[in-house]
Structure 1
Amino acid sequence: MRIVQTGSLSAAAEHSCLTVQALAAQLNKVEEQFGFRLFRRSNKGLTLTPQGTELTPYIDKVLIATRQMEEKVEALKVPGQRTLKVALNNTLSPDFNRRMIGRLIEVFPDYQMEFSYAESMENLSKLKNEDFDLAVLIGPQRPGLPSIVLPDVQVQVVGAHCGQENDPLTLLGNKFQVRPAEDCPYSHSFLRFLDAGLGNHENGQRMVYSCSETLTLSLITQMDAVGMVSREAAQKNGLTIFPGFEDFLEVRLAVNNPELSHQALNDVVDLPLHERAERNVRSRPHRHTEKEVFAEIRT
C-alpha cells in the first residue's frame, strides 16, 4: 500500500523505514505467494496491474482490521480502560435516560462509558456499523440481535394531526399521511391505526414515508398531515391526538458485545426505577478514595 500511495519503491521504502532491497524482496515474496504481479515496473516507477487494482480494496480492509485488532489488544492489556459505547434513545424521557446512565455506570464500573442519543433507527445503525455495545431500542425483538426487555418501560404511540379534536373521520382520512417506514418501530402501530377507522387509506392516498419521529413531527406541521408519534411528543408539540386509538410498544436493551455477561445485563434491567436519594458527597469521609468515573455524552 505504501508503493500504491507513493508510486515509487524508494519512496515507499523510506516511509516504511526499510532499505529498497528489503522492500523489493518483500514485494517479490508477496507476488510469488499470490501467483501474479501486483505492479508493472518501468523507468517512471511502479503502477498497479489489473490484478493488483482489484486486490487493493481487500488489502486495505485487511490493514484496517489489523489496526482495529491491535487497538483492541492494547485496550485489553490495561484493566479498567475498556470503553463501553451505549446508544440511548431520545424518544424516551430525559429522566429515564439519566437513570439508565446511572445504572450502567453502577453495573460496569471498570469501563469508560461513552453515551449518545438518537432514535431507534439510528441506534440500530450504530449497532451494525459503528461497533456500539448496547442500544436502547423501541419495538419488538430484532432478528439476530439479542436484547432484554426493560420492565415497566413502554412508549405510548398515537395518531396525531394539526386539526381540531372534533374533526370528522372523513376529513382526517383525506389528510396527507406520514407513514412510518417498514423498519420503523411505529410501522405496525400505524397499520393498526388505519384499521381503527381513520377512513379512506387506499393506494391512491397521498403519503410519504418517514423513519424518524422528529421528521414526522415536522411533516405533520408543515403539510397539515396525520402521522404516528409518541403521546409525549404529540403533547409537547401541541398536536391533536386522534381519539379512540393508542398502542404500547416495549423498550429493549439490545446487546452487541458478547463480552458483557448475562448477569450484568440483568442487573442493569433489574435495578429499581425509582429515584434514589441524593448523596451528600461533601459530608462523606475520605473523599479522595472515591473512584472517578469517566463518561462522555454525545448528541
Structure 2
Amino acid sequence: MDIKVLKNILKMAQAGSLTCAADDAHLTVQALAAQLKKLEEHCGFRLFLRTNKGIALTADGQELLPFIMNVVKSSDQLQQKIHQLRQREPLPLRFSLNSTFSLDINQNIMRFMMKKLGNYRPVFSTSESPDNVQKMAKGESDIAVVIGNIVPDGFYCIPLKGLSIKVVAATDSSQTGPLTALIKPLPECPYLQSFERFISVSGDKYPGLMTLYSGSEIVSISMLKSFGSIGIVSRAMAEQNNLTVLPHFEDVLNVHLVMKEPLLEESDLEPLYSNVVHLPEIQLTA
C-alpha cells in the first residue's frame, strides 16, 4: 500500500469531506476518489459512505482506521529516524504550550514530551489557545495544546480525556462603583461558550451592561482590573490575580493535543495524566 494514500485516507476521515481532503493533499477530487476506490478494491469493502454532509466512515472503515494511523505513524517515525541518522542530529519539533496553564503544568508537559519524543529536538513556545490554533494553521507549530473545542481542520487531534480546566465568572471587588460592562470573548476564544452559558443562567441579573470584547484571557484580566466588569477566566488565573469569583457558576473545558502528524496516540499520554492531576487548576474528568 502507498503510504501517501493512507495519509490521504486519514485526511478524509479527519475532514469528513472529499473536497477538503483533496485540497489539503493538493490533489483533484477525482484523483483522491480514484485512490480511495483502489484501496477499497484492495480491502474488499467500502471505507466511506457519502452523506448529505460529506463523507463518513463505514463500520469497517472505523475499525480499520486505528491500524491505518499506526502504519502512518510508524512510517513518519521511520522517515524521521532516517533523516536524523543522515543529519546526525535530532530534528526540531515546534511545540506550543498553553499559557493558561501554570508553570508547573507546562514544565510537566515539557518533561513528558522530551522523554516521549526523544528522537526530536523540541522547541517550546507558549501562548493562549487562539494563538496556538493560528500557529498550527500557519505552519509555525507542529504540536499545540488547545483548550476548548476550537480545533483547526486538517490536523490530528487527541482529546486529553484525563484533563480539563475550570472556568469561572469573575470581577475585581477592589473597583468602586457599580458594574458597567460584560466582557465577551471573541469567537476564536475557547471561553465564548462558557460566557454564553453564564449569561443564560444569570437571566436578567445584569441588565443594561454594555458589552466589551476580548481576544485573550490576559486582555480580559486587564479589563477586569481597569473598571467594573464581569468576565470569564480560568479559576487559577482568577485566584492568581486576586479576582472575586461569582458564586453559582463554574464551567469545565476539555483540553486537546493538536498535531500536524500523528506522532502520539491517546494511550501514549497516560503517564502525563498521573503527573498533573494533583495540580490545583486541573480537574480530573470521569
1:232 aligns with 2:236: yes
Question: What is the alpha-carbon distance in structure 1 between the residues aligned to residue 255 and residue 219 of structure 2?
Answer: 21
1:149 is aligned with what amino acid? P
Secondary structure of the structure 1 residue equivalent to 2:265: helix
Runs of 4+ off more than 6 Å:
none
Contact 1:79 1:110 in 2 (8 A): no
Corresponding residue number in structure 2 for 1:149: 159
How far did residue 143 of structure 1 move? 5.0
Contact 1:104 1:268 in 2 (8 A): no
1:213 is aligned with what amino acid? E
Give aligned pairs, total.
Answer: 193
Question: What is the alpha-carbon distance in structure 2 between the residues aligned to residue 212 and residue 248 of structure 1?
Answer: 18
Equivalent residue for 1:191, pick from 186, 189, 196: 196
Corresponding residue number in structure 2 for 1:100: 109
Q: What do residues 222-268 of structure 1 show as CA deviations (whole Å, max 9, x unaligned)?
A: 02211000011111111111110000001110112x2x44xx33354
Secondary structure of the structure 1 residue equivalent to 2:255: strand
Corresponding residue number in structure 2 for 1:121: 130
Contact 1:120 1:185 in 2 (8 A): yes
Corresponding residue number in structure 2 for 1:133: 142
Question: What is the alpha-carbon distance in structure 2 between the residues aligned to residue 213 and residue 113 of structure 1?
Answer: 26
Contact 1:155 1:249 in 2 (8 A): yes
Point out the structure with max Rg over C-alpha. Answer: 1
Contact 1:86 1:116 in 2 (8 A): yes
Supply the RMSD in Å over aligned alpha carbons: 2.7
Corresponding residue number in structure 2 for 1:110: 119
Contact 1:178 1:226 in 2 (8 A): yes
Corresponding residue number in structure 1 for 2:46: none
1:216 aligns with 2:216: no
Question: What is the alpha-carbon distance in structure 1 between the residues aligned to residue 122 and residue 245 of structure 2?
Answer: 38
Corresponding residue number in structure 2 for 1:23: none
TM-score between both structures, scaled by the size of structure 2: 0.61
1:180 aligns with 2:185: yes
Contact 1:161 1:224 in 2 (8 A): yes
Corresponding residue number in structure 1 for 2:254: 250
Corresponding residue number in structure 1 for 2:266: 266
Could you list the runs of 5+ residues in structure 1 that have no partner in the other structure? Answer: 1-71, 277-299
Could you list the runs of 5+ residues in structure 2 that have no partner in the other structure? Answer: 1-79, 277-286
Corresponding residue number in structure 2 for 1:53: none
TM-score between both structures, scaled by the size of structure 1: 0.58
Question: What is the alpha-carbon distance in structure 2 between the residues aligned to residue 275 and residue 146 of structure 1?
Answer: 24
Question: What is the alpha-carbon distance in structure 2 between the residues aligned to residue 230 and residue 151 of structure 1?
Answer: 18
Equivalent residue for 1:85, pick from 91, 94, 97: 94
